[in-house]
Structure 1
Amino acid sequence: MLFPTLETERLKLIEITQNHEESLFEILSLDEVTRHYGTDSFTSIEEAKKLIDMFQKNFYEKRAIRWGIILKESNKFIGTLGLNGLQLKNKKAEIGYEIHPFYWRTGYTSEAIKEVLRYSFLELELNRIGAVVYLENQASINLLEKLGFSKEGVLRDYLYQNDQFHTTHMLSLLIHEWKTTALNSFGAKAN
C-alpha cells in the first residue's frame, strides 16, 4: 500500500520520514504543544526518530496513518495529523494532530483536518472518526465542533502524562453528519 499524499490549497500532507526528525523534535519538545498531546515533551532527537519509526510501522501494519503537514509556499514542516486506532474492517479511527504554535490560529489545522476527513470518509470508507481531547483544550474542542464533531462523553483519568492522570472528552463525527456539514458549510464534494 502506497502512502497517500494529500493536498489542500495551502498544504501538502505527506509521509513523515527521518528527514523530518529535527522539525518533529522542535515541535514536540515544546511544553505548550505537548501539554494536550498525551505524552511528555521530547528531550532528545532520538525520541523523534522512534516516533517516526512507529508512524511508519503502524502505517504498514494498517493500524494508523500519520501525515506531516507541509506549507506549499515554503516546504516547511509545521506539524502532524493522523488517524490512530485505524480499523478498516470496523470502519473507524481516531484523529489526532499537533502544529507548531507559530502556526496556531492560521486555519492550517482546520484545512488539513477537512482533507483528512474527506479522505477518511470517501476513500477509506470509514463510518466514524473519534477524537480524544483534554477537557481544558477548549481551542481543539471548538475546532472539532466547528467541523461537525459532537461530544459523546467524558473518559475519566483516560491519559497519563507528566505523572498525573487526565480526564478527556470523547468527540465523534459520523459519515452522514460529515456529508451534511461538508455540503452545507464547506462546499466540499461529498458523494
Structure 2
Amino acid sequence: MNFPVLMTERLNLIEINEEHVASIYSIFSNEEVIQYYGMSPLTSVDQAAAMVNSFANGFEQKRSMRWGIVWKETGELIGTVGLNNLSLNSKRTEIGYELLPAHWRKGIVTEAVEAVIDYCFNELKLFRIGAVTFPQNEASFSLLLKLGFEKEGVLKGYLYQDNESHDAFIFSIIQPEWRK
C-alpha cells in the first residue's frame, strides 16, 4: 500500500520522510507543543531522525500512520496528525495531532483531523477512532467534542511524562456517528 496523500482547502497531508527531520525536530522539541504529549521534548536532530524512521516503520508494519501537515500557502511542514494503535483487522485506531504554536487557533488541526477521519471511515473502513488527552489539554478535547467524539471516561495513570504518571481522558467516535 502506498502512503496516502490527503488534501484539504488549505493543507496537504503528506508522508513524513528524511527531508522533514528538521521540521519534526522544531515541532517535537517545542515545549509548548510537547506539554501534553506524553513525552519529553526532543533534544537532538538525531532523535528527530529516529522519530521519522519510527513513523515509516509503523506504516510499513500497518500499525500506525503519521502525516505531515503542510500549509499550502508556504509549503512549510507545521505539524503532524496520525493514527496510533492501528488495527485493520479490529477496525479501530487512535488519533493524535500536534501543531507549532504560531499556527494555533486557525482551524488547521480541525481541517487536518477531519480529513484523516474521513480517510479512516471511507477508505480504511474502520469502525472506531479513539483519542487520549491530558485532562488539562482543553484545546485538544474541545476539538474532539466539536468533531463529534464522546468522552468515555478517565484512564488513571495512563500517561507518563516528567517522571510521573498522569490520568488521561479517553474519547471516541464510531463510523455511524460521523457526519450524521
Band of TM-score, shorter chain? over 0.9
* CA distance in structure 1 between the aligned counterparts of 2:21 and 2:15, rounded to whole angstroms: 12
Partner SS, residue 40 of structure 2: coil
* CA distance in structure 2 between the aligned counterparts of 1:137 and 1:56, rounded to whole angstroms: 28
Query: Which residue of structure 1 lines up, in the alignment, with residue 88 of structure 2?
Result: 88
Whether 2:17 is the aligned partner of 1:3: answer no
* CA distance in structure 2 between the aligned counterparts of 1:47 and 1:86, rounded to whole angstroms: 23
How far residue 30 of structure 1 moved from its aligned partner, in angstroms, is: 1.1
Q: 1:64 is aligned with what amino acid?
A: S
Whether 2:133 is the aligned partner of 1:143: answer no
Query: Which residue of structure 1 lines up, in the alignment, with residue 122 of structure 2?
Result: 122
Q: Unaligned stretches of 5+ in structure 2?
A: none
Partner SS, residue 62 of structure 1: coil
Q: 1:171 is aligned with what amino acid?
A: F
TM-score by length of 1: 0.93
Whether 2:75 is the aligned partner of 1:72: answer no
* CA distance in structure 2 between the aligned counterparts of 1:108 and 1:138, rounded to whole angstroms: 16
Query: Which residue of structure 2 lines up, in the alignment, with residue 170 of structure 1?
Result: 170
* CA distance in structure 1 between the aligned counterparts of 2:117 and 2:126, rounded to whole angstroms: 9
Identity of aligned residues (%): 48
Partner SS, residue 178 of structure 2: helix
Whether 2:61 is the aligned partner of 1:61: answer yes
How far residue 179 of structure 1 moved from its aligned partner, in angstroms, is: 3.3
* CA distance in structure 1 between the aligned counterparts of 2:78 and 2:16, rounded to whole angstroms: 12
Whether 2:28 is the aligned partner of 1:28: answer yes
CA RMSD of aligned residues (A): 0.6
Query: Which residue of structure 1 lines up, in the alignment, with residue 159 of structure 2?
Result: 159
Q: Unaligned stretches of 5+ in structure 1?
A: 181-191
Runs of 4+ residues deviating >2 angstroms? none
Query: Which residue of structure 2 lines up, in the alignment, with residue 184 of structure 1?
Result: none
* CA distance in structure 2 between the aligned counterparts of 1:80 and 1:99, rounded to whole angstroms: 7
Query: Which residue of structure 2 lines up, in the alignment, with residue 102 of structure 1?
Result: 102
* CA distance in structure 1 between the aligned counterparts of 2:7 and 2:162, rounded to whole angstroms: 35
* CA distance in structure 2 between the aligned counterparts of 1:142 and 1:92, rounded to whole angstroms: 22
* CA distance in structure 1 between the aligned counterparts of 2:155 and 2:110, rounded to whole angstroms: 24
Partner SS, residue 179 of structure 2: helix
